[in-house]
Amino acid sequence: MDMSGSGQPLVSIVLPTYNRLNWLLKSINSVQEQSYDNWELLVIDDISNDGTREKMEELCRQDNRIQYHRLPVTKEPGISKFLNYGIKTGKGKYIARLDDDDRWCDPQKLEKQIKFLEEKSDYVLVGGGVIAINEKEEEIFRYLENETDEEIRKKALLSNPMTHPTVIFKKDIAEKIGGYQSWAFAEDWDFWLRMGREGKMYNFPEYFALYLMAGQNISLRNQRGAAKMIFEILKTHKKHYPNFSKGYAVNCLQYIHSFTPSFFRKGTTTFLKYIKRKYF
């Protein structure tokens, strides 16, 4: 286990990016503002051409905890290859996730979560609440996820039980289950459900991240494709979690919604996402 002189376990922060330099810099700044300082940040670039490379090389010289990796373009769908590369390359006991358009809003996020995991060895995955914002960085809404392991499992097939930029998980367990699978959508949902079969899960009743909800979100742009893939993920896990029928029904509504006129979807998608995350 990698530790600093103070005995703190190292956490590897995996941050994929592509042509979003202005947002990326805000994400990195939120990491540097954390009270917990024994971290390494792996910025994994999908060959950006907006000046990301030059700026990242400068930041790496300024802070040796930051690493910059450029991966070649492949035909593999989704971002799983970037996440798995980060898990494999990271040297930490724990893996934290952050996206280039999100940032942590609680400077004690890492400190709280790592303390929890160090004290409760039967837990493998922890997350927290988020504040959803638009491109103007105005708050749209906020929500807390289901908190306890029992609550998470009860509703795990109704809605994604964790929000990606809030989570920390054990690296050895992630490697044991084979990392993220190559789903084009909802790869994180599938990953949480597989992690949950190895140990307990927990969501802090606190807001840990600012979560950009705009047109950049691939699941929002292709709701029909996302709904179809979620059907397959639910079927994969129905023997391990309760309420499969309810979860299937909820996703059916999402699938039906994807057929409504575009002007209607544009005006209702964010609201429906809020309802699903807050009440399911």
Report pLDDT for 254. 84
Q: What percent of the chain has pLDDT over 90?
A: 76
DSSP calls for 79-92: SHHHHHHHHHH--S
Per-residue DSSP letters for 188-199?
HHHHHHHHHTTS
pLDDT in tens, 174-204: 999 999 998 888 999 999 999 999 999 999 9
**Domains defined along the chain, listed by start:** 11-215 (3.90.550.10)
Q: How does the average pLDDT of the chain come out, rounded?
A: 91
Element (H, E) at 114: helix 109-119
pLDDT band at 220 (very low <50, low <70, confident <90, very high): low
What pLDDT, on the 0 to 100 scale, is given for residue 217? 52
pTM of the model: 0.92
pLDDT, average across residues 150-169: 97
Model pLDDT, residue 5: 47
Chain centroid offset of residue 233 CA: 17
Buried b (16+ CB within 10 A) or exposed e, 119-149: eeeebbbbbbbbebbeeeeeebbbbbbbbeb
pLDDT digits (tens, 9 = 90+) for 36-78: 999 999 999 999 999 999 999 999 999 999 999 998 766 676 7
Higher pLDDT, 259 or 176: 176
Least confident piece of the model among 7-16, 19-28, 91-100, 248-257: 248-257
**Are 190 and 183 within 8 A, CB to CB?**
yes
d(CA 26, CA 251): 34
The Cα–Cα gap between 135 and 133 comes to 7
